[in-house]
Structure 1
């Protein structure tokens, strides 16, 4: 759940609500304001700000303020030109729709890239390189877009399974040599959340692909890669940005793993492919350079 959503919950006193309303009104303007200044402008006591932070699960006001500002910065960036839920209109021509969909895709990639944290990506890459077996857990429609990741990883010798059938058994039958990639936009899907205790009990490291904010999945994850968070759950034309974001993150993970043994992976993949890929084309751009076989 986003911090801004938590702040709208009915858990605050009237004086605390006055401060929260003030934060939503001032937004980025609170960056350089002290608790004393905010208290004076809201006619409240400085300790009220500390109580709000504690209720929201933060150690103090500074931590809450920084998280609030980070979230405001994200929500205000990138998607000002297009609505992720309704990227085109009823009367748009098909070429207008094509252009808007292209813009949506480009914006989604940029938005997702801005959410990638180096430490989490580095940790995820190490876990995948080390793993003897990689298992991907998600709801069925998300697993459908993970097939390219599985194929790419398999072609450099990494064993990847998409757990479409009996995921409970797959979780229970995992070991510390397994690495789990758990994909959930909300991070609260019951069928996935129920697997997390089993994975942790068997010391399976978990890479989470999920939305910004805190959720049950993030609490179990060893590292977190954030999916662009612009879509509502149901009121939308399609899951365009979510799908594009997941595909991009999986491509980044594959490329990062590939880079750790670049020359050997490239040689192995190319060498194997030349024997099993029998496609032909008259287009010169697609022509392969012939190499001597070994």
Structure 2
């Protein structure tokens, strides 16, 4: 809506919508045209330019988005979660709130059928390959470590991603992570993955993008950050981590008892760490 695609009168309609927000609920095109000194056909043109059939459809979608925005990140700006005047404990509290809001936001965007399907694809895959930029791949190391501990083969494709995509097949499952869904180096891999019959699980932002058109399952990264005008990628990183933890947990649950027994048995053999903290000390798991 902030794009440079509107005439001056159409911009007046868009400006009115941003100013009035929830107040446009129930208003007809004729009413708004009167208040903005335009013609009802102007509202229809705005709707058409945004890809909707008419004013009512645009109004309803707009109100849904306003409700979403009002329900998430009311008090914390994901781009600037703290200011230069904040002391260290204020920063700590604001970061905690942002983290909690991010998890809640991400959870609200998850679809049950998509999660069930993704769990099936990961559970059945002989190998899981993750494609993304290096900064996102860094987040994936814990996911790989967790999955390896229950016998799943995971490859973080850090170099020669094109060759990694070309070596995939229908028994491979690809997790593709892109905040914009338009990262050229990642998008270029998608035709090859499709050609190889490799199912794709996408982690990407809200809305349609190139990645979503190729994906078999789509999980939405909380979308509140600009590309670079921000202090850090706190929210998107937390969202990706939560989604990966969730996917691991769902795969684990498919064979809960065996996975737990296997993980503990192998850990007891290789993990010889000691702790003086009673909370961290291991008990007897022989009966698990």
Q: TM-score, normalising length from structure 2?
A: 0.89
Q: Tell me the distance in 2 between the aligned counterparts of 1:66 and 1:130.
A: 40
Give the match for residue 271 of structure 1: 265
Q: Tell me the distance in 2 between the aligned counterparts of 1:59 and 1:121.
A: 31
Counterpart pick for 1:99 among 70, 93, 107: 93
1:46-65 CA distances to partner (integer Å, 9 max, x unpaired)?
A: 55544443432345555433
Note if 1:286 corresponds to 2:280: yes
Note if 1:72 corresponds to 2:66: yes
**C-alpha spacing 1:51/1:261, structure 2 compared with 1 (3 Å):** farther
Q: Please report the RMSD computed on the Cα atoms of aligned residues, expressed in angstroms.
A: 2.3
After TM superposition, give the deviation of residue 112 of structure 1 in Å: 1.6
Q: 1:101-116 counterparts in 2 under 5 A?
A: 101-116=95-110
Q: Tell me the distance in 1 between the aligned counterparts of 2:91 and 2:16.
A: 39
1:216-259 CA distances to partner (integer Å, 9 max, x unpaired)?
A: 21222222111112222222221111111110111111111111
After TM superposition, give the deviation of residue 274 of structure 1 in Å: 1.3
Note if 1:196 corresponds to 2:190: yes
After TM superposition, give the deviation of residue 279 of structure 1 in Å: 1.0
Q: 1:1-294 counterparts in 2 under 5 A?
A: 7-35=1-29, 37-39=31-33, 41-42=35-36, 48-292=42-286
1:73-94 CA distances to partner (integer Å, 9 max, x unpaired)?
A: 2222231222222222224332
After TM superposition, give the deviation of residue 140 of structure 1 in Å: 0.3
Q: Tell me the distance in 2 between the aligned counterparts of 1:58 and 1:236.
A: 32
Q: TM-score, normalising length from structure 1?
A: 0.88
After TM superposition, give the deviation of residue 118 of structure 1 in Å: 2.1
After TM superposition, give the deviation of residue 201 of structure 1 in Å: 2.0
Instruction: State the SS of the aligned residue for 1:285.
Output: coil
**C-alpha spacing 1:17/1:193, structure 2 compared with 1 (3 Å):** same
Structure 2 unaligned residues grouped into runs of 5+: none
Higher mean C-alpha displacement, 113-122 vs 37-46: 37-46
Query: What is the count of residue pairs matched by the alignment?
Result: 288
1:141-185 CA distances to partner (integer Å, 9 max, x unpaired)?
A: 110010000111111122111110111111111112211111111
Higher mean C-alpha displacement, 214-223 vs 129-138: 214-223
